[in-house]
Amino acid sequence: MRYPLTSMALGIMLLLLASLPLQADEEQKKRFAELEKTLNNVKLVGNFTVVGEAADKGLTKEEYTITKVEKQKKGDYWRIHARIKYSGQDVELPLDLEIKWAENTPVITLDKVTIPLLGTFDARVVIINGKYAGTWSHGKVGGHLFGTIEKNEEVKKEEKDSH
């Protein structure tokens, strides 16, 4: 009699273990959907600092317009269709960037990523609760960046018209 109970317990345990990947897949799908909702048709509007510059110089404004984000098949890469205004340049292009996860928080991760016309960058940018913050470096220069995530005006108008 002892063996049937052990077999049943083993069967239940295997069923529970088999369901774990399904739960993880569902959680990942939710995270991905939330990230797409957060970053599609938005502007990241804020400021950046440069380490070593005088504090009395003030903050430098920055703006990134993201029209679309889409998960790529390769690893943790996402294609981010962005317009970047930086250092007198105004560039619009798709960027394949890694997005890592700290629990449920996305972290845009650049390790020596070359952006055409702008240069090579390292960065970690956390996206959370309608805000972004992180650190960046470009050669020997680096600093901090932070700001808010705002819906593009066209999207705000569409959302308003649909209500």
- CATH number at 80 reads 2.40.128.120
Assigned domain for 127 exists: yes
CA pair distance 157, 41, nearest whole angstrom: 12
Assigned domain for 27 exists: no
Q: At 16, is the secondary structure helix, strand, or coil?
A: helix
| The two structure tokens encoding residue 41 | 């048709």
Residue-range definition of the domain harbouring residue 107: 35-161
CA pair distance 153, 41, nearest whole angstrom: 9
Assigned domain for 16 exists: no
- What's the average model confidence in pLDDT over 132-158? 87
Cβ-proximal residues to 77 (8 Å cutoff; 6+ apart), any chain? 71, 96, 97, 98, 99
Q: How crowded is residue 31: how many other Cβ atoms within 10 Å of its Cβ?
A: 16
Assigned domain for 111 exists: yes
* pLDDT surpasses 60 at 159: no
- pTM (2 d.p.): 0.79
Q: Length of the chain in residues, anyone?
A: 163
Beta bridge partners of 8: none
Is the distance from CB of 43 to CB of 149 less than 8 angstroms? yes
DSSP 8-state symbol, 51: T
Assigned domain for 5 exists: no
Cβ-proximal residues to 56 (8 Å cutoff; 6+ apart), any chain? none
With CA atoms as reference, report the closest residue to 127 among 92, 94, 103: 103
Assigned domain for 123 exists: yes
What pLDDT shows up at residue 106?
97
> pLDDT tens across 24-78, in order?
688 889 999 999 999 999 999 999 999 988 777 788 899 999 999 999 999 999 9
Assigned domain for 3 exists: no
Virtual CA dihedral for 43, 95, 76, 74, nearest 10 degrees?
A: 140
* pLDDT surpasses 70 at 162: no
What is the tally of structural domains in the chain? Answer: 1
Assigned domain for 114 exists: yes
Q: What angle do CA 30, 33, 36 make, to 5 degrees?
A: 150
